[in-house]
Amino acid sequence: MTDANFIGNSDQTIELAPSYTIPIVLITAAIPLLFVQVWVASAIALFGAFLLIQTVMLRLRFTPTDLDVYRGETLIRRFPYQEWQNWEIFWSPVPILFYFREVQSIHFLPIIFDPKMLRMCLEHRFPKA
- pLDDT tens track for 38-68: 999 999 999 999 999 999 999 999 999 999 9
* pLDDT average, residue stretch 17-33: 96
**Measured distance CA(109)–CA(61) in Å, rounded:** 14
Are 98 and 121 in contact by the 8 Å Cβ rule? The answer is: no
Q: pTM of the prediction?
A: 0.85
The radius of gyration computed from the CA coordinates of the chain, to the nearest angstrom, equals 16
- pLDDT tens track for 85-115: 999 999 878 899 999 999 999 999 999 999 9
Looking at the structure of the chain, the number of domains it has is: 1
Q: One-letter amino acid identity for 110?
A: P
Domain of 19, in residue numbers: 3-125
DSSP H helical segments within 18-114, as ranges? Answer: 21-33, 38-57
pLDDT of residue 106: 96
CATH number, residue 33: 2.30.29.30
